[in-house]
Amino acid sequence: MFNAFDPAPIYALLGAEVVHLPLVGGEVSGLAVLDLPGKSIFDDQVMVVEPTLRFPTGTFDAKRGDTFVIDSEAWIVADLPRQIFDGAEACCHVVKQ
Amino acid sequence: MSFDLFAMQTQVLAQLAPVANGIVIEDMFGAVDLTDNGPTIGAQTVFLEFSPVDQVARSALHNVRWSFDVFIDSSRASVAEKTAAAALFSAALGRLVGWEISSGREVRTAPGQESGFVGRFLRISFGFIVPVIVAG
């Protein structure tokens, strides 16, 4: 059978220390991956960056509107985090405050 | 009469400049910058099509259709910026409709590009037609 996926080694390698400030509850620290992919939309009329935050769900229980502090900058969770693979990780769009 | 697309673009941008109010209006060669450290709203005018309408002897009437598009980063834009974007859209419409780009040639509205969201980014668009007579 399959073993449960442990994402910890990935975050140890690629992650940055972040602080999660939920709208409800106390702050939590841990490792997450902030991705800043640039892309063009509307038939290449507009250049944008859509930052996403990928994090282990065992560490963070993020909800829309929560804040993550990364390198002293606050990022707001812009949508409902969606589960990745077996749910050991999740990903959401974030917007710099 | 000949037709110069790029000269027309220059005329259109000059007509729109007084209502830009600090918002960058890109020409068809540019790209609107809404990256995270850039502005939250932008605009662009784009050539869409050149279509024949009528012809008498060697004089052919054509429609040159353009779009005027306003883009908004709905997550980062403040209420004031969203209001400014809407104001630009309305003001641009007012500047272009009925504008006599040259004697006897008046601009009129037409379908633009599709308005809507891609993620958090909104495009609102209207189209306009500039009549052109090309003589062979």
pLDDT tens readout for residues B18-71:
999 999 999 999 999 999 788 999 999 999 999 999 999 999 999 999 999 999
Encode pLDDT of A26-68 as tens digits: 999 999 999 998 999 999 999 999 899 999 999 999 999 999 9
Q: Is this complex scored with an ipTM above 0.95?
A: no
What does the block give as tokens for B89? 């859209």
Q: Which pTM does this prediction carry? A: 0.82
Mean pLDDT, all residues of chain A: 92
Question: Is B121's CB within 8 Å of A51's CB?
Answer: no
Q: How far apart are CA B128 and CA B109, in angstroms?
A: 4
Q: Which residue of B has its CA nearest to A78?
A: B75
CB contact under 8 A, A45 and B31: yes
Rounded CA separation B125/B122 (Å)? 10
Q: Which of B34, B46, B113 sits opposite A48 (nearest CB)?
A: B34
pLDDT exceeds cutoff 90 at A69 = yes
